[in-house]
Amino acid sequence: MHNIVQNNITINNLPKINSFLFPEEYKILPNTSELFELEFAFYESKLLTKKEIIQRGAFFKSINGQDTNHYLICSNNSPLVWKGRSEITKAYFKEGNFSTGYATHGLFPYRGKFHPQLIKGLLNMLGLQQGDTVLDPMCGSGTLNVEASVIGIDSIGVEKSPFCILMSRVKHRCLRVNHKTLNSILENMTKNYKSLMKCKKIDSEFYSESCFNNEKAITLLAFLDAMGYARRCSKSIDILFPTVLKRYVGQINSFLQVRNKLNLKIGKAKFKLGDAMSLPIDDNSIDGIITSPPYSFAIDYAENDRPQLEYLGYNVSNLGNEMIGLKGRGIKEKLDNYFNDMNKALSEMSRVLKIGKYAVIIIGSNDVQTGGIRLETKVEEMAKNHSFVLDQKITKPIRGIQNTMRDEYILFLRKN
């Protein structure tokens, strides 16, 4: 074998790439293998102080032997998450331990949700602080709101789907519950299950902002999760519901332990049923936006949640007709409508954002579906008409052989 001799470096003394990127005392998380993860770790090492990395960094394990909060939160995950699951599922959860499966992100597997660790990295890049308010105008399952709250930042989530509002609220409220609530959820499990099975019309009051009932709402989300799971695996909901609810309680409990130990101050979050094209938010009031819109019609977000929406008493077809990406017939009409709607959404993001602050948009294009039209390129062009300047663009690969989409793009748009 040849020795590669350059600056006295040879094949037998090649240094690890991390030693060039980070100071010796900085240790990155296990399983950090993707280039974009190293990129984010590098930005954190440059933009945050050591103390900040310990408190809110998303890509480091420790500094000078002191573990980061992110590492501790992820390491305390409940083993119930993968109890009784197949080997493939177990491997998936273990691998995603530091990136997707921590805090309350594992409650309800929402399709198309953010990569939570990446969102924490973005909050750090934007330099958002306690007292600031960050917005996701299409918040889905509330990933941004959970991540912001864990590092003490307040947030707002707007969504068209009432089921997403329920899910986001539960995931956020679970960060703040106490052990007494968790005990009563388990004590009343059978009684609550029977009443959910019998219920003809669900009362939405108990999952509203003002009358939110932790016990009832957490139980309802687990029930809706088990309902979807039962359809996918043809098992009965009677069998699945207790398993799902116990898994929820186990996960929340693990987070509470570490929350109390680290004395985390959880940020506030408000969720509003509304439209990204007409935001129920004041002008120039928001310190940062992080969002991921539908990637045109790649996923039908109304149809996907049909059983849950119908159980809650909503009309799925009406909802679909109001969602970005789903309007019209045929590819051309759908794409025209999509870009019109995205143009309105960009105009609204610009209106509510403070000058000089960032809207970060994560978007990918499925060329196979769009006939080669790149969504991110169009969004970049349209953003210019709404006082946005593109300061940075990061590429994130999408893994999985079933995915026809290869990359997602992270656009950093500054309001000028």
Positions that interact with ligand SAM (CB under 6 A): 110, 112-114, 138-141, 143, 158-161, 164, 275-277, 292-294, 301, 323-324
Least Å distance, CB 49 to ligand SAM, is: 28
Contact (Cβ atoms closer than 8 angstroms) between residue 133 and residue 341? no
Contact (Cβ atoms closer than 8 angstroms) between residue 323 and residue 163? no
**Residue 141 CB partners (closer than 8 Å, separation 6+):** 108, 110, 113, 164, 167, 168, 171
Least Å distance, CB 25 to ligand SAM, is: 33
* Residue recorded with tokens 């493939």: 88
Going by the DSSP 8-state scheme, the letter that residue 236 receives in this structure is -
Least Å distance, CB 325 to ligand SAM, is: 7
Between 36 and 42, name the residue whose CB sits nearer to ligand SAM: 36
Between 147 and 215, name the residue whose CB sits nearer to ligand SAM: 147
Contact (Cβ atoms closer than 8 angstroms) between residue 154 and residue 132? yes
First to last CA, the chain: 55
Pick from 216, 218, 211: which is nearest to 195 by CA?
A: 216
Least Å distance, CB 129 to ligand SAM, is: 22
Least Å distance, CB 34 to ligand SAM, is: 19
* Residue recorded with tokens 């959880």: 266
Whole-angstrom Cα distance, residue 208 to residue 216?
12
Between 222 and 302, name the residue whose CB sits nearer to ligand SAM: 302
The residue number whose beta carbon is nearest to ligand SAM equals 140
Between 58 and 138, name the residue whose CB sits nearer to ligand SAM: 138
Between 112 and 131, name the residue whose CB sits nearer to ligand SAM: 112
Between 139 and 240, name the residue whose CB sits nearer to ligand SAM: 139
Least Å distance, CB 43 to ligand SAM, is: 21
Between 185 and 294, name the residue whose CB sits nearer to ligand SAM: 294
Whole-angstrom Cα distance, residue 45 to residue 65?
16
CB atoms within 10 A of CB 27: 17
Contact (Cβ atoms closer than 8 angstroms) between residue 345 and residue 413? no
- The H or E element that residue 82 is part of is none
Least Å distance, CB 104 to ligand SAM, is: 12
- The H or E element that residue 2 is part of is none
Least Å distance, CB 291 to ligand SAM, is: 7
Chain length of the chain: 416
Between 26 and 255, name the residue whose CB sits nearer to ligand SAM: 255
